[in-house]
Structure 1
Amino acid sequence: MNAAPALIGYMATVGVVAPRLILRSSWPHRAPALAAVVWQALALSFAISAALTAYHLATPTEHLHTGLLGLLHACGLHANVARPDPGMAQQLAVALPGTVMLALIGSFALHVLRARSARARHRDALDLVGRHSEHLHATVLAYDAPAAYCLPGWRSRIVVSDAAVELLSSEQLDAVLEHERAHVAGRHHLVLAAAEAFASVFRWVPLARHIKEQTALLLEMIADDRALRTHSHAVFATAMYEMAAATTPRGAFAIGGHTALVRLRRVLGPRRAPHPVLRGAAAAAAVIAPVLPLLLACPPSLG
């Protein structure tokens, strides 16, 4: 039996239904790290499903004979359709899923390299106009607005404007820098690049349209939570408010930006962790989702 119909149904569930359920839920903002893993797991599951679907559409089966061409031949279209070559079907069975995976890998590499190049150019500029502060372990940049951001990756750099240094208290400034250190330590640029790659390849899918924006927001919340481990909510919220309007260069993470208002409400609002059952279910879904397409494509034998 050909598994393509089941895989297509599963792709519809993962690509259309699952994102809507997550966006309507409140738990992702209460457990951003887990939510980011769930989004990535759904993207991986969808990609595996797409590759396996392409394989099964091209693979000879009992009912489809030698794939789609075999189906046309079996329906009596002998005059217009030559009898399909099993060897060609096998080549398609390898080429089609391979194309899907290579597109994702290539897109990921492209996003990583583009961001890396942009960060390298910005680092070169910082070497000319910025000054390194041993006390802050950051580069201080002459800028008339309070701003702070990090350039992750190899030769990572944390940058803060001299206006921020003058405006913020020492505790507020340390909270801001801790937020940026979280991005560097967590290698958040790679997680975001993976989301961008998926969004580029499957851009017509609702999951792809949401994953980039949601991943970027959740990564900022993860960094917020790290800063809140050592600083009070009031201190961090005040610092975030002062930095909310700051702009950042391409490839950088910043404490401000368009997500600041949502995150500020989260920091100042009541803190409730998701119910352990809900957390366990989300974690289980993240583990199981990438495996389900394999089970649909190769169901276990019952005897």
Structure 2
Amino acid sequence: MIAAAVLLLYTVVAALWLPKLGRRAAGWAERAPRLAITVWQAAIASVVASTVLAALAFAVPADVVGHGLAGLFEACADMLSAGEGLTFAGVAALVAAGSVLGRVAYCGAAVLYRAAVERREHAALLGLLGRRDTDLGAVVIDHDERLAYCVPGRHGQMVITTGALRSLAPEQVAAVLEHEQAHLRGRHHLVLAGAETMARAFPGVPLFERARTEIARLVELLADDVAARRHPRTQIAAALVRLATGRAPAFTLGAGGETALTRVRRMLHPEAPLGRRERLTGLLTVAALLAGPAVVALVPGIGSFLAHHCHSFLFL
């Protein structure tokens, strides 16, 4: 019961407080966007896990867990078949846990399905209106708006408009397409889909809303960094300025958009990357977020196990 209360308290505190901590760490995130994305994902996973584990800790008595793995399965089977030890509140807790997981699965499937349908429709449109440029490795569309984006998926492709080609120098075009290629190679659309799933499944939760916004920003920073490995940062910055007003389709990943101008500053005035100690701190944070709920949920069972079987160890 104590473990369930602790896990529920953590769920509430994390959902409300972690977004505020994320705002304070915004500068740190810009220096290591990949690690920052992982931290946000771990925070989301820890809240969901703590919610589900709290329900399980409430429904399954600690002494049942303490019998060991085989005994746990046997005891749980007895509880479910005979109803012994499983109270109405315990059943309600298990139903709540199942509802949380079901809601996440349903929203995740809906997000992925809708995006896949829109991508297929857009790909068909590109086949009619666009032409494949083998030198660029992208589909070119005759359109005055300056756009460069990628359509992710199994047959991902990069798209650029004639307006962008007229506006950008060849070096800038190469840098922009490298940015889009980074999105495709990194499967960033799946990262965004995960954040979108949680925000839709549980609307209004500060952690999930903030994570969706931050992850969308961070994947762009990460793609900028990948492009900067092969192209001058000044060329990337110049291309971002020219593409800033472009609005790519919602289900795609575009180089421009509302974050473009703030990314220009980052390209022109890059901060020092994280040191070894800072990266280690970030990795330990991820580990704590992922392992913490499981440890709290298992502590009562471990204590019960030692209480039941301690005498066996004394005779060894």
Using structure 2 for the length normalisation, give the TM-score.
0.84
Amino acid at match of 2:34: A
Asked if 1:40 corresponds to 2:41, the answer is yes
* Shift in Å, 1:56: 3.5
**2:200 maps to what in 1?**
200
Could you tell me how far apart the structure 2 residues matched to 1:3 and 1:35 are?
Answer: 29
Q: Which runs of 5+ in 1 are unaligned?
A: 63-83
Which secondary structure does the structure 2 equivalent of 1:145 belong to? coil
Task: State the partner residue of 1:69.
Answer: none
CA contact (8 A) 1:130 1:142 kept: yes
Asked if structure 2 preserves the Cα contact closer than 8 Å seen for 1:59 and 1:89, the reply is no
State the match for 2:51 in structure 1: 50
State the number of aligned residues. Answer: 282
Partner secondary structure for residue 214 of structure 1: helix
Alignment-derived partner of residue 72 in structure 1: none
Letter in 2 for 1:23: R
Q: Residue 57 of structure 1: CA displacement?
A: 4.2
Distance 1:39 1:271, change over 3 A: same
Q: Which one-letter code corresponds to 1:224 in the other structure?
A: D
Kindly provide the CA deviation profile for residues 229-264 of structure 1, in whole angstroms up to 9, marking residues without a partner as x.
Answer: 011111110011111111111210000011112211
Distance (Å, rounded) in 2 between the aligned partners of 1:27 and 1:235: 24
The 5 Å alignment of 1:198-277 reads 198-277=198-277
**Kept after mapping to 2: 8 A contact 1:176/1:239:** yes
Counterpart in 2 of 1:106? 106
* 104 and 39 in structure 1: CA distance in 2 versus 1, 3 angstrom threshold: same
Q: What is the CA–CA distance in structure 2 between the aligned matches of 1:9 and 1:259, rounded to whole Å? A: 35
Aligned residue identity for 1:142: D
1:154 equivalenced with 2:154 (yes/no): yes
**Does 51-60 or 18-27 show the bigger shift?**
51-60
Match of 1:174 in 2: 174
- CA distance in 2 between counterparts of 1:15 and 1:86 reads 29
| Post-superposition offset of 1:152 | 0.5
Of all paired residues, the percent bearing the same amino acid is 36
Range moving further from structure 2, 32-41 or 162-171: 162-171
CA distance in 2, matches of 1:184, 1:270: 24
The amino acid across from 2:268 in the alignment is: L
Counterpart of 2:30 in structure 1 is 29
Q: How does 1:76-91 map to 2 (within 5 A)?
A: 86=86, 88-91=88-91
Unaligned runs of 5+ in 2: 64-83, 311-316
Which is helix-richer, 1 or 2?
2
SS of the residue corresponding to residue 230 of structure 1 reads coil
Between the aligned partners of 2:288 and 2:230, the Cα distance in structure 1 is: 34
Are the counterparts in 2 of residues 156 and 184 from structure 1 also a CA contact under 8 Å?
yes
Deviates more, 1:238-247 or 1:196-205: 196-205
Q: Is the 8 A contact 1:55 1:92 kept in 2?
A: no
Shift of 1:85: 8.0
Is contact 2:59-2:86 (8 Å) kept?
A: no
Asked if the contact 1:183/1:223 (under 8 Å) is kept, the reply is yes
Alpha-carbon distance in 2 for matches of 1:86, 1:171:
67
> CA shift at 1:16, angstroms?
2.0
Which range moved further: 245-254 or 48-57?
48-57
For residues 205 and 57 of structure 1, the distance between their equivalents in structure 2, rounded to whole angstroms, comes to 23
8 Å CA contact 2:58, 2:90 repeated in 1:
no
Q: Give the secondary structure class of the aligned counterpart of 1:284.
A: helix
Residue aligning to 1:74: none
